Amino acid sequence: MYPPLVRRLVFPLHERFCRRPTLRRLRELERSQWMDPQALIELQETRLRQLVRGAAGRVPYYRRQFERAGMRSRDIERFDLGDLARLPTLSKDDIRRNINALQDPAALHHRIPSTTGGSTGQPLQFYIDRARQAADQAARARTRRWFGIDLGERELYLWGAPVELSSQDRFKSVRDRLINHRLISAFNMTPRTMARHLDVIQRFNPVHLFGYPSSLARLVRYARATGRRFANPALRAVFTTGEWLNPADRAAIEEAVPCPVADGYGAREAGFIAHQCPAGSYHIAMEGVIVEVLDPRGRPLSNGEIGEITITNLDAWAMPFIRYRTGDLGALRAAPCSCGRGLTCLDVVAGRRTDMLRTTEGGAAHALSVLYVLREQPGIVQYQVIQQTDLSLDVRVVADSTLTAQSHSLLASKLASCIGAGTPVRIHRVDRIDAATSGKHRSVISLASETPPHRP
């Protein structure tokens, strides 16, 4: 569809139909990014006080936390960034144990259920609202404009597309076409599917690509090995997210495209956190999130020191996320970016790397292909998938009584289809799955070759 028509008519109508104030938020973000750092901090503190008032007054979990911290009404009325350290951090386990107490009763009728992709081995269920959706969409649209790409331009997603679409997915597919989006699967990256993906790229001629860096790099390497063209004439930017963009993958993608490669950092539960600008800095979306970097004991670190990224989402009203520990590592940078934006920079983003899985056809499947199968299986509390050198899968699960022997058989069949029909899958029920030496759970471990050979 004609991009100006999408930008001026189709997209605004879509957002109005969804009751999301995305365009209003985008206009605000376009102005605020040029504010000086102190003005942005003051904006954060104003929004933080509003969030804290609502959480302390209506959300049972936070009411208890403020009481335990000895904070009274007058403290909450003048709450500032420095007061965050008086509150405990919020972990995934805290959310699971207190899922009901964390919700704002005033938002029960317009809350939207959501869940994480389960890359840590334990999917997290939570709730958001339309304002939070709008905030994330607007922040993402602003970063696109940093690279001269506006709403309505042709965008191709190399993302998580299930093989069989549900009715909701079919609706999204129609919607995506109306707003000039296309989606191709990052899951089963076999030579055959990658050849089809390259065909789609050439036909659709996207202005920008968006996807998992490992999957994009895999497709780039396949194109190079088979003499196919990856970049199309209209391509002006490649955006990556969902996992760490390592130097080797970045170099492979940059070599294949005549445009910038920019990485974004966020989490489904924590929101849109930071994105690279054309100068290469990861700018924090300060208007919507507060980023702290903490040591192992939960104490804030100075700029430049690497620690755990902890997020307070200023738009999470339906279910507040205050001092949420992401499990990712990073460091705040004191120096401003040469681009002139007042948004604080996140100097390091590390610690998120999901293994690719070998397929029987000689290709690679993104780990999320098996994670989504496990996430949807009732009864599974935690899981870990280990691919052996013969491509077989050992699946360790912590499960309750609702996971039956019959469920095992069906689950094994679904998991095998991700790698190739007939792939041996062994399911082991265990009492617990210990973390790796890094302290993080690795939900997918591939012992097979990391970069399988291509077969044209």
User: Does 101 share its domain with 120?
Assistant: yes
Residue 27 corresponds to which amino acid? R
CA dist 343 → 32, 94, 143 (Å)? 9, 30, 12
For the record, the structure tokens of 258 come out as 């005549």
Which CATH number goes with the domain that contains 399? 3.30.300.30
Between the two ends of the chain, the Cα-to-Cα distance in Å is 34
What is the β-pairing status of strands 282-284 and 289-294? unpaired
- Domain final position from 350, 380, 396: 350
Instruction: Give the number of other CB atoms < 10 A from CB of residue 335.
Output: 10
Task: Indicate which CATH number applies to the domain containing 13.
Answer: 3.40.50.12780
Residue 138 resides in a domain: no
Based on the fold, state whether residues 248 and 293 are members of the same structural domain.
Answer: no
> Residue 196 pLDDT > 70, yes or no?
yes
CA distances, 66 to each of 84, 245, 401 (Å): 11, 38, 37
CA nearest to 359, candidates 192, 245, 217, 221: 192
159 and 247 share one domain = yes
Q: Work out the pLDDT band at 115, boundaries 50, 70, 90.
A: confident
Q: pLDDT grade, residue 405 (50/70/90)?
A: confident
Cα distances from 274 to residues 25, 263, 382, in angstroms, run 17, 9, 29
Same domain as 110, residue 220: no
Stretch 143-148: mean pLDDT: 98
Verify that 44 and 125 share a domain, yes or no.
yes
**Cβ contact 158:210 at 8 Å:** yes
| Mean pLDDT, residues 396-417 | 90
| Whole-angstrom distance, CA of residue 37 vs CA of residue 43 | 10
CA-CA distance, 290 to 312, in Å (whole number)? 5
Question: Domain for residue 434, yes or no?
Answer: yes
| Same domain assignment for residues 220 and 294 | no
Give the pLDDT confidence score for residue 376 in this predicted structure: 82
Q: Residue 456 pLDDT more than 70? A: no
- Supply 128's token pair: 């958001």
Is 452 inside a domain boundary? no
Query: Please, which contacts does 195-199 make with residues 24 or more away whose CB atoms are closer than 8 Å?
Result: 195/222, 195/226, 195/228, 197/158, 198/222, 198/223, 198/228, 198/229, 198/230
Contacts 24+ apart (CB under 8 A), 30-38: 30/142, 30/145, 32/287, 33/142, 33/283, 33/341, 33/342, 33/343, 34/340, 34/341, 34/342, 35/342, 36/342, 37/336, 37/342, 37/344
Among 350, 374, 399, which residue terminates a domain?
A: 350
Mean pLDDT over 205-230 rounds to: 93
Query: Taking the mean position of all CA atoms in its chain, how far away is CA 275?
Result: 12
What CATH number corresponds to the domain at position 254? 3.40.50.980
Query: Which helix (H) or strand (E) element contains residue 356?
Result: strand 356-358
User: Per the domain annotation, does 16 fall within a domain?
Assistant: yes
- Of 36-45, 169-178, 201-210, 276-285, the poorest mean pLDDT is in 169-178
Query: Mean pLDDT, to the nearest integer, of 9-25?
Result: 91
Task: Specify the pTM.
Answer: 0.80
| pLDDT at residue 132, as a whole number | 96
What length does the chain have? 456
pLDDT in tens, 363-394: 777 777 787 788 788 888 778 899 999 999 99
Q: Identify whether 416 is part of a domain.
A: yes
Sign of CA dihedral 156, 245, 113, 17: negative
Average pLDDT over residues 210-238: 92
In a domain, 140, yes or no: no
Task: Provide the number of structural domains found in the chain.
Answer: 3
The pLDDT, as a whole number, for residue 214 is 82
Confidence grade of residue 339 (pLDDT, cut at 50, 70, 90): very high
- In the structure encoding, which two tokens stand for residue 108, read together? 């029960």
Same domain, 185 and 294: no
Nearest-angstrom CA–CA distance, 268 and 126:
10
Residue 139 has pLDDT above 90, yes or no: yes
Q: What are phi and psi of 72, to 5 degrees?
A: -105, 180
How far apart CA 316 and CA 85 sit, in angstroms, is 19
Tell me if 229 is assigned to some domain: yes
Q: What is the pLDDT of residue 120?
A: 58
* 126 and 247 belong to one structural domain: no
Q: Is residue 272 exposed (0-12), middle (13-18) or buried (19+ Cβ within 10 Å)? A: buried
Predicted local confidence at residue 262, as pLDDT: 97
Residue 454 lies in a domain: no
Containing domain of residue 363, as a range?
356-446
Rounded Cα distance, 412 and 281, in Å: 43
Is residue 137 very low, low, confident or very high in pLDDT (cuts 50, 70, 90)? very high
Mean pLDDT, rounded, of the chain: 88
Same domain? For 162 and 190 the reply is: yes
**Whether residue 14 is found in the same domain as residue 125:** yes
Same domain, 125 and 7: yes
| Apex 322 CA angle, 316 and 324, nearest 5 | 105
| 90-99, 122-131, 178-187 — most confident range | 90-99
Q: Say whether both 234 and 286 belong to one domain.
A: no
Q: Rounded distance, CA 329 to CA 40, Å?
A: 24
Q: Is the pLDDT confidence value at 432 over 90?
A: no
Asked whether 129 and 318 are in contact (CB, 8 A), the reply is: yes
Looking at 224, 259, 294, the residue that finishes a domain is: 259
